[in-house]
Amino acid sequence: MIRFILRRVLAAIPIGIVVTLGVFALVFAMPGDPLRELAGDKPIPESVMAAMRAQYHLDEPFIVQYLLTMRDIFTGNFGTTFAGADIAQQLEMRIPVTLQLALLSNVFQWGAGLLFGIYAGFKRNGLVDRSLLLATLVILAVPGLVVFFAGQFLFGVQLKWFPVSGTADGFPMSYLLPALLIGLLGFAGLARLMRTSIVETVNADFVKTARAKGLGEQRVLWRHILPNAMLPVVTFIGLDLAGMFGGAILTESIFNLPGLGQFMFQAIKLKEGGVVVLLSTLAFVTFILINLLVDALYGILDPRVRHV
């Protein structure tokens, strides 16, 4: 297992370099001067602008800026944003917001998705199964942006059941509406996958053989059906967790939540390449760690993959 993890980590290093370099190149290629845009209509002497460009290494070539940014990231010297905010303090403040949002949304998504998917899979063609297929089809057909704005308007503005934006009401109230909407969008795919996996596993030859040997239904369910049916679901959940940072950019911007997603959106808007690369690196490391966890769970659910 240790060799397996080391191989994965070593293989991730060149991929991480390509990802961060590509992200930095995209930010670098964006038109406009970020310092000029930050100043707005205020007249700033050229000497001051030159000093600020030197401070943030904006007067250096592209590759030098990238290498200096990566050096700062790996030494923990994150510096400040163009507006003067301490990046380390921003991370300390924003990471809990994104984690709390992810925690609530995944509780809703996994709880509902797994329960409905398992029940519909065992009660195929029943009322719950048909209702689930219809409901998830509708949810998957509606763009996420429409779901967020419609949910915010209906439940926040019209019915006033939840706060519309911000975190003034604290946890969990401020996070309930965006978390429910994120969970609803994720629930559709997870429930359909769980239901399909259960149906395929129930009809598999090894399940029929286990029943023919006289094993009880409970043992067949917990020892044969669910472990095998969970294999594709674990992959789905792992990819969903790894992609939560990308979804946070949209959700936190709409609901004005001061998390990492909103921080990334603001950094892209202001062309803060260092912040964008820092957050991209954080997302990439999270992706690698989650994939390692998924591989470990695969080994638990299916012992055959431990020696692959």
> What's the mean pLDDT in 92-108?
89
> What's the mean pLDDT in 278-282?
85
**Rounded Cα gap, residues 48 and 261, in angstroms:** 31
**307 pLDDT higher than 60:** no
Name the residue with higher pLDDT: 305 or 47: 47
Q: Tell me the β-bridge partners of 80.
A: 86
pLDDT in tens, 185-218: 888 888 888 888 888 888 788 887 877 887 777 7
Tokens (6 digits) for 257: 């939540």
Burial class (CB in 10 A: 0-12, 13-18, 19+), 286: middle
Task: List C-alpha distances in Å: 239 to 186, 190, 215, 234.
Answer: 11, 11, 35, 9
19: left (phi over 0), alpha (psi -120 to 50) or beta: alpha
Share of the chain above pLDDT 70, in %: 93
**299 pLDDT higher than 70:** no
Phi then psi dihedrals of residue 80, to 5 deg: -125, 160
Which among 123, 248, 226, 144 is positioned nearest to 187, based on CA atoms? Answer: 144
State the pLDDT confidence band at 3, using cuts at 50, 70 and 90. confident
How high is the pLDDT of residue 236? 81
Task: Name 110's Cβ contacts closer than 8 Å, sequence gap at least 6.
Answer: 190, 237
Q: Tell me the β-bridge partners of 86.
A: 80
- DSSP code per residue over 213-263: TT--HHHHIIIIIHHHHHHHHHHHHHHHHHTHHHHHHHHHHHTT--SHHHH
State the pLDDT confidence band at 140, using cuts at 50, 70 and 90. confident
For the chain, the average pLDDT equals 82
How high is the pLDDT of residue 34? 76
**Rounded Cα gap, residues 6 and 194, in angstroms:** 32
Neighbours of 43 (CB within 10 A): 5
How high is the pLDDT of residue 44? 73
State the pLDDT confidence band at 308, using cuts at 50, 70 and 90. low
Angle between helices 87-122 and 244-254 (to 10 degrees): 110
**Rounded Cα gap, residues 107 and 103, in angstroms:** 6
**Rounded Cα gap, residues 302 and 272, in angstroms:** 45
**Rounded Cα gap, residues 300 and 283, in angstroms:** 26
**295 pLDDT higher than 70:** yes
- Per residue in 166-185, is it b (16+ CB within 10 Å) or e — as a string? ebeeeeeebbbbbbbbbbbb
> What's the mean pLDDT in 113-135?
85
pLDDT in tens, 160-192: 889 888 888 888 888 899 999 888 888 888 888
pLDDT in tens, 239-275: 777 667 767 788 888 888 898 888 888 888 888 888 8
Phi then psi dihedrals of residue 131, to 5 deg: -65, -40
